Structure 1
């Protein structure tokens, strides 16, 4: 195993498995810097119940599922409030679309074959598969997971649909001090790479930078010096949506593969 990260300070944006990622970075010669860009994601049962009831009562022309766990959670929540049969019936009466193979598997378990699904696990891929459909005046229920998926929402609004988003999981923002510190470190050239393990972490950093007026400086750092490393396609897509074009994403969507890819990048550059 090479030591491509020798002398490099690598920020970890995740809050889970930080020890494991730190060890891999150290084995590659780097110094891990833990800067969690993701607060807690919690189950929002009380907030979701009114939306679930609305969906069951009013139905929808289309239902869009973006995560397997979110799909299963909505079914469980519907069961808890005594609406499982009605919820499943409302889904089956609508046209369905999904993002990701886990979501597709969750729908198949329910006996639902989607009309549209992505080819690459990304929101952009899902949007491409929906482009040819007419959403004008249609009601669309969208299951989200912890974040608002602005590109997907904008797509349906532009197509003339009325959207009911349902977020079975809500995201609590990270500590402001942590994000502020990372922004400062980036702008002071104290960080060589940032490892993002979810799209939420990307949004947290760039939304904070926009609010504080640092956005141009932070973007410039990623375009000119520090490397943004994404664990997979969805996270890489979130970076591109923020205007970051200089990034690394491994073929194998694993944290270890992301660090090895980063190490290789610096070895080749040396």
Structure 2
């Protein structure tokens, strides 16, 4: 018998939620989906302007923070008929990136980064830039969860920052947030799986019930995170013991949860 048999596993993701659900069901678990990511919107007008400005203005650095952002900018360049020019300028500009998907996009386009966040966090990238500040111009791709903080941090270091926002996330439905909050507080769920820091922030979007949520996670409900950034956001909310698989993939997460409960049942 699987160690997930009969256990309710909350899934805060929307994208690939069905894939995770199938893996959980295959092990006898009961997946419950709470789409906390919020609707993603690609801003074509902003992306087109970002590409125009990138090609027209001089930049010493391009900072790519997400794979989705890189792909969205590339698609905008294709639609504008300047895809070749876009990639050529990237080849001629110093690149700094974070994230596995962003690195995959670089590889697909034969690009190499001068700075790569070793742990996938923006903090590591900012640390690298803090030792190299000399009033250089940066093209920063970010999105609405992080843009102001990242730009302010780089501005403070002395860089001149152009902010590119090719996409953004809407806030998820209040009824979804409240439903998950209630099911955590009532200990209805055995585990909650988070796949991004956005989901964590949306759950703790206000102070209502925060203490109850943190207590539930720290004593009964298992918080599981894919990726160091997601796990770090849970820790920042006061959650002390977050399950994080070494391999940041869906399958590895389900295996890690199963292993956790097997150990918990051992004499």
Q: Which band: TM-score by shorter chain? A: 0.7 to 0.9
Tell me which residue corresponds to 1:233. 228
Conserved 8 A contact 2:95-2:113: yes
Tell me, in whole angstroms, the C-alpha distance in 1 between the residues paired with 2:237 and 2:152.
15
Deviation at 1:12, TM superposition (A): 0.8
Matches of 2:254 and 2:13 in 1, distance apart?
13
> Kindly tell me: are residues 64 and 228 of structure 1, through their superposed partners in 2, closer, same or farther at Cα, counting changes over 3 Å?
same
Alignment map for 1:20-31 (pairs within 5 Å):
20-31=19-30
CA contact (8 A) 2:226 2:244 kept: yes
Give the 3 Å change call, closer, same or farther, for CA 171–4 of structure 1 in structure 2: same
Given that 2:9 and 2:191 are in contact with CA atoms closer than 8 Å, whether structure 1 keeps it comes out as yes
TM-score scaled by length of structure 2: 0.83
Are 1:37 and 1:204, in contact at CA under 8 Å, matched by a contact in 2? yes
Q: Is the 8 A contact 1:7 1:31 kept in 2?
A: yes
Structure 1 gap ranges (5+): none
Is this contact kept in 2: 1:117–1:129, CA < 8 A? Answer: no
Quote the offset at 1:111 in angstroms. Answer: 5.4
Which stretch shifts more, 94-103 or 149-158?
A: 149-158
Contact 1:146 1:200 in 2 (8 A): no
Aligned to 1:79: 78
| 1:229 CA displacement | 0.6
Is residue 169 from structure 1 mapped to residue 167 from structure 2 by the alignment? Answer: yes
3-state DSSP class of the match of 1:11? strand
Check 1:15–1:107 CA distance in 2 against 1; reply closer, same or farther (3 A cut).
closer
Displacement of 1:230 after TM fit? Answer: 1.2
The answer to which of 29-38 and 14-23 deviates more is 14-23
Contact 1:95/1:115 (<8 A) preserved: yes
When the two structures are aligned, how many residues end up with a matched partner? 265
Q: CA separation of 1:228/1:110 partners in 2, compared to 1, >3 Å: closer, same or farther?
A: same
Secondary structure at the aligned position of 2:204 is classed as helix
* TM-superposition CA deviations, 1:31-71 (whole Å, max 9, x none): 22211112332321023333333343333332101234432
Which residue number corresponds to residue 34 of structure 1? 33
